[in-house]
Amino acid sequence: MSFAKAKTMQKSLALLTRGFESSSGKTPEFLAFARTFKRELTDALRSAVNAENVTFNVGHFYVSGFFTVNGQAWYFATGDVRGMTQSYGLLLRTARDYRDFTGGANNNIPMRDDMIEKVARIVDRAPTMHFLLEVFDSRNTSQSEPLEAKDWYNAEKIASKRSLGNQWPVVLWLRGENKFIGFEKGEPVTWSTCLSHKV
């Protein structure tokens, strides 16, 4: 990862430093910050980590959203920016999809000049987990295929898609643990449904 190419968030940080008047509605100052933040963060994420599908939600004095890198969804949120200092931060964590607001472990990144560099390091070091896909066939037998994914949620998406092209169930296993889920035609199925296909 080359951070030299990463775009900065200078205008957003300058607006954040000025502060915001508290109000029961969105103030013009906050809306200007939100527009600038959206533009700068989108450019910075695309530049630093090749992010795709960057989306935003502008709430009551906070901005949140999602982006995707290599098939892994990520959630971010500023929290309430009123009275926020640059030492306070941007929340970043993995997500199952763009509706997952609980996701993986929280990472809090100070909103300073090196924020995008820290985001890139977190995204780059997201661990790769090792799974097995057990793919059943018409002979009531199954074959195991290795699968690598950033997390369980991403592996579930892959297994679900794999089951769409298979007439029989697909079971996702986390290697070294007794954690599994079955899919048939893209939908989760019970373990007994998967067992009914075993000899």
Of 106, 124, 142, the position where a domain reaches its end is 124
Query: In the prediction, which pLDDT does 151 show?
Result: 74
Tokens for 147, please give them. Answer: 């699968």
Of 74, 96, 124, the position where a domain reaches its end is 124
Query: In the prediction, which pLDDT does 179 show?
Result: 75
Tell whether 168 and 111 lie within a shared domain.
Answer: no
- Number of neighbours of residue 188 by Cβ within 10 angstroms: 14
Range of the domain at 38: 3-124
Residue type, 119: V
Tell me if residue 57 falls in helix, strand or coil.
strand
Tell whether 102 and 156 lie within a shared domain.
Answer: no
Query: In the prediction, which pLDDT does 119 show?
Result: 95
Tell me if residue 4 falls in helix, strand or coil.
helix
Of 155, 69, 71, residue with least CA distance to 120? 69
Of 81, 98, 124, the position where a domain reaches its end is 124
Tell whether 159 and 191 lie within a shared domain.
Answer: yes
Q: One digit per residue, pLDDT tens: the chain, 199 residues?
A: 444 445 678 999 899 888 888 899 999 999 999 999 999 999 999 999 999 999 999 999 999 999 988 778 899 999 889 876 555 689 999 887 888 888 778 999 998 889 999 999 999 887 666 777 888 777 767 788 888 777 777 788 888 888 888 877 888 887 666 678 888 888 888 766 565 554 3
Tell whether 58 and 107 lie within a shared domain.
Answer: yes
Query: In the prediction, which pLDDT does 128 show?
Result: 66
Query: In the prediction, which pLDDT does 66 show?
Result: 97
Tell whether 141 and 83 lie within a shared domain.
Answer: no
Query: In the prediction, which pLDDT does 3 show?
Result: 43
CA dihedral 103, 146, 138, 189 (to 10 degrees): -20
What is the Cβ-side half-sphere exposure of residue 171, based on CA atoms within 13 angstroms? 22
Total domains in the fold of the chain = 2
Tell whether 42 and 101 lie within a shared domain.
Answer: yes
Tell whether 23 and 89 lie within a shared domain.
Answer: yes
Tell whether 36 and 91 lie within a shared domain.
Answer: yes
DSSP state of 175: T
The gap from C-alpha 5 to its chain's centroid, in whole angstroms, comes to 22
Tell whether 115 and 141 lie within a shared domain.
Answer: no
Residue type, 15: L
What is the Cβ-side half-sphere exposure of residue 77, based on CA atoms within 13 angstroms? 16
Q: Kindly report the pTM of this predicted structure.
A: 0.66
